[in-house]
Amino acid sequence: MQDLANKLTLEQIDKKIKQISSLSKLPLPAEGWIYNIRQALGISLKQLGNKMHITPAGVKEMEKRESNDSITIKSLKDFASALDLKFVYGFIPKDGSLEKMIEKRALQIAQNIVLKTSHTMALEDQQNNPARIKKAIKDRAQQIKNEMPKYLWD
């Protein structure tokens, strides 16, 4: 069975994910946050460079790296710090929660296991009916989810 500490961690992270999930619907500025914030505040490349202790060309390069997804988290934190902003980042599962990711993966594994076994039984003329196979998949998925075996993500 999944130990209590892991279960609590999963619940806490899913709670945080739920709080920030609405952010995934917001479109990112095409030129990046750094450029757009700098423009909105009316700060020149030179002024921002002075605040960050880098050259104006360094600021321009940072804006370019952000727009092509090659900027580092450290650079984003440095920018935020220079302008007294709070830097925030996170991950939002496409399925909505880590719990759902686990359920989906457990179901895939259970289906593979049960259908493989069912196929073997059919070859031995001991075929199960579809309702029983469906229940076996559901039960096995629940067992896998509860146990969280190492092979879950193989």
Residues in the chain, total? 154
pLDDT tens per residue, range 64-106 = 999 999 999 999 999 999 999 999 999 999 988 999 999 999 9
* Residues contacting residue 72 through CB under 8 Å, at least 6 positions apart: 65
pLDDT category of residue 1 using cuts at 50, 70 and 90: very low
Closest CA to 60 of 74, 39, 80: 39
Q: pLDDT-based confidence at 52, cuts 50/70/90?
A: very high
Summarize pLDDT for 21-36 with one digit per residue, the tens.
988 888 989 899 999 9
Q: Largest Cα–Cα distance of the chain, in whole Å?
A: 79
Residue with tokens 């359920």: 103
Tell me the C-alpha distance between 98 and 151, whole Å: 17
Predicted local confidence at residue 132, as pLDDT: 85
pTM (predicted TM-score): 0.75
